[in-house]
Amino acid sequence: MSTGDQTDMFGRLKNLLPIGWFGDSNPVRDALLWGYAQALSWGFTLYLYAKDQTRIKTASDGWLDLIGLDFFGNNLIRLSGQLDASYRNRILINIFRERATRHGLDQVLFDLTGRRPLIIEPAKPDDCGCLGATLYLGVAGPVGSTSCPYQAFVTAYRPIGSGPGNLPGIHTNWFGLSLTSWVVPSSQLAPPVSDADIVAAIEQTKMYGSTVWYRITN
């Protein structure tokens, strides 16, 4: 017996009855109390479920989706087939995510795509070098400029997916030529992270008033 189950509720109801009203064995009374106990047990279970939905770490099902919608709008919706634990972790990471810094931009793109972006700030000597320092012959590099403050060039890489490589499409000359046909699920055809997701991540993380010139490549 656990707190709030039907047996527990039955015992609680039985203890509320005045002593001496019924005998020790009364099946009619017990049957009636068992029915009430079942309804109370269901109500207690619903109470515990509702209580869990008031905190991010214990919320589940559609309530977790509502929490994500409340904090981030349509910018952090649940992925197809994503479990509660994984989606909850994404919500918590993005609530406390570092923003408005170079490291924050690097980390958000890495978390999204699994690949580190290339970030170059024209006004940052560490990225572009400077005159009067050791040079490397035969090595290409960016050219900096102090006339481009608060700007950055970001190369974001799409995630490495498991697309339908070496599988010819229906409208190709190789389809059906003594080859076994395969049906590929839509999840394998469409990338898990779209270019729009990458752009949204940059816009949400970059410092206000700064300019980020970006390109997205494989």
Tens digit of pLDDT for each residue in 164-212? 655 666 656 555 555 566 666 655 666 667 888 899 889 989 999 999 9
Q: Quote the CA–CA distance of 119 and 127 in Å, as a whole number.
A: 8
What's the N-to-C CA distance of the chain in angstroms?
Answer: 58
Q: Quote the CA–CA distance of 145 and 134 in Å, as a whole number.
A: 18
Cβ atoms of 164 and 184 closer than 8 Å: yes
Q: Quote the CA–CA distance of 113 and 192 in Å, as a whole number.
A: 9
- The 10 Å Cβ neighbour count of residue 111 is 13
Instruction: Give every CB contact of residue 194 below 8 A, 6+ residues apart in sequence.
Output: none
Q: Helices 102-113 and 195-205 sit at what angle, rounded to 10 degrees? A: 160
Please name the residue ranges forming H helices in 53-185: 61-72, 84-95, 102-113, 125-128
Cβ atoms of 13 and 36 closer than 8 Å: yes
Q: Quote the CA–CA distance of 16 and 9 in Å, as a whole number.
A: 11
Sign of CA dihedral 76, 79, 83, 85: negative
Q: Quote the CA–CA distance of 13 and 44 in Å, as a whole number.
A: 14
User: Which residues, given as ranges, of the chain have pLDDT below 70?
Assistant: 130-138, 161-192
Q: Quote the CA–CA distance of 155 and 178 in Å, as a whole number.
A: 43
Q: Is the pTM of this model over 0.75?
A: no
Task: Spell 55-84 as b/e; 16+ CB within 10 A means b.
Answer: eeeebeeebbbebbeeebeeebebeeeeee
Q: Give the E-state strand segments of 106-197 in sequence order.
A: 118-120, 151-157
Could you state, in order of their start, the residue ranges of all structural domains in the chain? 1-52, 59-96, 99-218
Q: Quote the CA–CA distance of 144 and 129 in Å, as a whole number.
A: 7
Q: Quote the CA–CA distance of 177 and 165 in Å, as a whole number.
A: 17
Query: Residue 145: what pLDDT?
Result: 83
Query: Residue 214: what pLDDT?
Result: 95
Query: Residue 40: what pLDDT?
Result: 94
